[in-house]
Amino acid sequence: MIEDFRLNLTPSQPVSFSYDAVVSMCKKGEVANAIRLLKRNGQTIDGWTDVIQLGLRKLSVSHRINELLSLVFKFGLACPLEIRDLLREMFQQGDIPGFLKQAHRYGTCDGLDSEIDAAVEWLRQHGQRDGASAYRDKFEALRRGRRLP
């Protein structure tokens, strides 16, 4: 007979809230976890801007650009670097799907035309014709001043 292991499980201890805990998370690049901890404890992000910026810089140095841009967009954070430069770095790192998603999310195509065209072509060459066509249409709409979802 198989014994049910779930009876022996104990809930994990939640991370206690302290300034040091939040700083430690941000120094490790765990910005999303730090923000969740702050919110769970009734804190506003505004009071922790310097610490959160430290975490965002860590993400940048660690080449976790997609995560950084997602956090900036989701929480309305100030970006420590230029969005266009970060997008260009994502493209150079080879994160083509992430590059296209973030470039569209931020509505950025000025100065990135060659990268966007190359990324769309990369999708097409890798058998993602529908995705390539959709992104081509989205960026064409952005260039004309309209935004497609």
Of the two residues 9 and 99, the one the predictor is more confident about is 99
Taking phi first (over 0 means left), then psi (-120 to 50 degrees means alpha), and beta for anything else, what does residue 42 get?
A: left
Residue 21 domain flag: yes
| Any domain includes 142 | yes
Domain termination site, one of 78, 100, 121? 78
Quote the mean pLDDT of the chain. Answer: 91
- Per the domain annotation, does 128 fall within a domain? yes
Is residue 105 one of the residues assigned to a domain?
A: yes
Is 111 inside any structural domain?
yes
Tokens representing 43 are: 């804190």
Q: Is 148 inside a domain boundary?
A: yes
In this predicted structure, the answer to whether residue 48 has a pLDDT above a threshold of 80 is: yes
Q: Are residues 88 and 134 in the same domain?
A: yes
| Enclosing domain of residue 60 | 16-78
Residue 146 falls inside a structural domain: yes
The number of domains in the chain is 2
Q: Please give the Cα distance from 51 to 30 (Å, whole number).
A: 11
| Amino acid, single-letter form, for residue 7 | L
75 pLDDT tier (thresholds 50, 70, 90)? very high
| 120 domain-assigned | yes
Q: Which pTM does this prediction carry?
A: 0.81
How open is the CA angle 64-76-39, to the nearest 5 degrees? 90
